[in-house]
Chain A
Amino acid sequence: MIYIDKCAYTNRLTNIHPLEKLMFVALTMIICLTSSSIIIPVLIVLMMSFITIFKAGIPYKFYLKLMLIPLSFLFLGVISVTMNIIDNPDKALWSINMLGVHFGVTHQSIVYSAKLFLRSFGSVSCLYFLSLTTPLVDIISVLRKLKFPEIFLELVSLIYRLIFILVRIAGRIHTSQSSRLGYSTLKNQYRSLGHLISRLFILSYKKVNDLFVSLESRCYTGQLNVIEKQYKFSYRCISFIILIEASLIFLELLSRKII
């Protein structure tokens, strides 16, 4: 997770206007999710992977690993969609009779689940593109411009910042416990983990108090007012996005007529 965050700040597309990236991802995702063809999501996965690896410069090994993570979830989800209760076992490609109920796989359910699988995978590739190329700070500032509720944005930004502090503290406590054989036996593991969690709770409470004092001492008004980084819109990027989205929509319309 921390490496994803590092990529977001150091990739070659960091300086592109975050609104452009967000629009690109949002539009592509909408097309991907509403598409009825199989080709469009495949194209989207290929395009997003290409941009993430070659344009943004994310190491392809890392990217492949990331893409593998949702695959297992997707497979499990898709299996349950493929297997259905069916009325007529003769039409099924494969079926099983359990307690008088027929479970089976049909040609339709395979097509349907393949589409579902590809659509989800396409959306995942879009979201990976966003999280690998856009720092959260930028996403928040775009959402602020889009008039998202301030309380929600402040919560997101504070949680984001504090996660890193908590992870580090948890790591330190874990090291200090391990160095005293805190995780040597199963019983010890449970006990140490319990201590670690309760300690984290107490520490987060203390950290929040300290943070509040430090905000107060800088004239905190109840709102986390900060200046936003200024980005320039690039006509090149915008025309690129329009071109891509238009061709995707065109392909989608074409495929609907043909199929």
Chain B
Amino acid sequence: MEYILEAKDIIFNYAGDVAALKGISVKIEKGKKTVFLGENGAGKSTLFLHFNGILKPNKGKILFKNQEVKYDKKSLTELRKCVGIVFQDPDTQLFSASVSQEVSFGPMNLGFPREKIEQYVNYALEAAGISDLQDKPTHFLSYGQKKRVTIASIIAMEPEVIIFDEPTNYLDPKHKIQIMDFLTELNKNGVTVILSTHDVDIAYAWADNIIVIKDGMLLKEGNPEEIFRDPEVLECANLTSPVILDIYNELTRNNYINKQSFIPRTKTELFELLNANVKTH
């Protein structure tokens, strides 16, 4: 297994405040989809800001590709080129009134020539599905459109890791699905995707690995089945069990279907399982 990002015993406190991270250690697998779960204030966002060097730990270290992160200007630029963060509130991320200028900011800072920047910007706008918005002012866009602009502005830097802080917040169901499909697509193209969410159904259906954080410490990490079949973890982190898993458990408990080696994670998978079992009866 290859780890692209690693936090080792990170202790961090905001000035004059109690510790936000209390010696947390996590490893992010390269090319995988990792989901962070945990209550508000558990330390997810703080940890994310450590991953691209915005925050410097009081104790402990961050490893990127097994190299310890250094905090001089050059190393930070290199790290931030490779690890991008899409913040929760698009309005605080967008500084420019023009969509194409906003997206060009990252690649400009990396000092690419103009043609290359235009290429990156066009690619990013297309990938985020907002090519038609490039001449629109950012303040006339809807929330979902702004979200896409922030995503495009990160993709334009072609990072290897993209961190999404609660990407599906405030989105309507249709756009939620679109964003999640888009993240899957990104991941298929080789980008390591990390996201935080409160939506257990999304986490269960989408994640390769789940990391549960509680009070600045690691509660448990593992694949979705391991996490969501552990009632103690769910109880402790104020999580609920995903609907699909509940239905599956109920069906097997009442012997409507036999226990499977493969547990369904999405609606489609559950329906397929049901259909297959109905035919065999």
A217 touches B97 (CB 8 A): no
User: Is A211 a contact of B95 with CB atoms below 8 Å?
Assistant: yes
Q: Is A227 an interface residue (CB 8 A)?
A: yes
> In the complex where A214-B93, A217-B52 touch, is A164 in contact with B80 (Cβ < 8 A)?
no
Report how far A164 CA is from B97 CA in the complex, Å: 10
Interface 1/0 per residue, B71-102 and A, CB below 8 Å = 00000110011001101010111111110111
Give every chain B residue within 8 A of A164 (Cβ-Cβ).
Answer: 97, 139
When the two chains form their complex, are residues A211 and B105 in contact, meaning their CB atoms are under 8 A apart? no
CB-defined contacts of B34 to chain A, threshold 8 Å: none
Is B95 touching A219 in the complex (CB atoms < 8 A)? no
Shortest beta-carbon distance from A175 to chain B in Å: 17
Given A161-B138, A218-B109, the answer on whether A207 and B80 have CB atoms closer than 8 Å is: no
In this complex, the interface size class of chain B, counting residues with CB under 8 Å from chain A, is 35 or more
Tell me how many residues of A have a C-beta within 8 Å of chain B: 30
Tell me the A147-176 residues at the B interface (CB within 8 Å).
157-158, 160-161, 164-165
Q: A6-B140, A217-B52, A219-B106 are in contact. Are A207 and B96 (CB under 8 A)?
A: no
Report yes or no: B138 in contact with A225, Cβ–Cβ below 8 A: no
Interface string of B114-144 (1 = CB under 8 A from A): 1001100100000000000001111110000
| Contact A221–B109 (Cβ < 8 Å) | yes
Q: Is the CB of B108 within 8 A of A225?
A: yes
Between A and B, 6 residue pairs with Cβ closer than 8 Å are A161-B96, A213-B54, A217-B84, A221-B109, A226-B102, A226-B104
CB of A233 within 8 Å of the partner chain: no
B136 CB to closest chain A CB, in angstroms?
7
Asked whether B217 is an interface residue with its Cβ less than 8 Å from the other chain, the reply is no
Distance between A139 CB and nearest chain B CB, rounded to angstroms: 11
By beta carbon, the residue of chain B nearest A209 is: B92
Report yes or no: B109 in contact with A137, Cβ–Cβ below 8 A: no
Which A residues have a C-beta under 8 Å from some C-beta of B?
5-6, 9, 135-137, 157-158, 160-161, 164-165, 207, 210-211, 213-221, 224-229
Q: Is the CB–CB distance between A218 and B96 below 8 Å?
A: no
| Residues of the B chain whose Cβ atoms lie less than 8 Å from the Cβ of A9 | 135-137, 140
In the complex, the answer to whether A227 meets B138 with C-beta atoms within 8 Å is: no
Q: What is the CA–CA distance of A9 and B105 in the complex, to the nearest angstrom?
A: 21
Contact, CB under 8 Å: B98 / A229: yes
B97 lies within 8 A of A227 (CB)? no
How far does the alpha carbon of A217 sit from the alpha carbon of B89 in the complex, in Å? 15
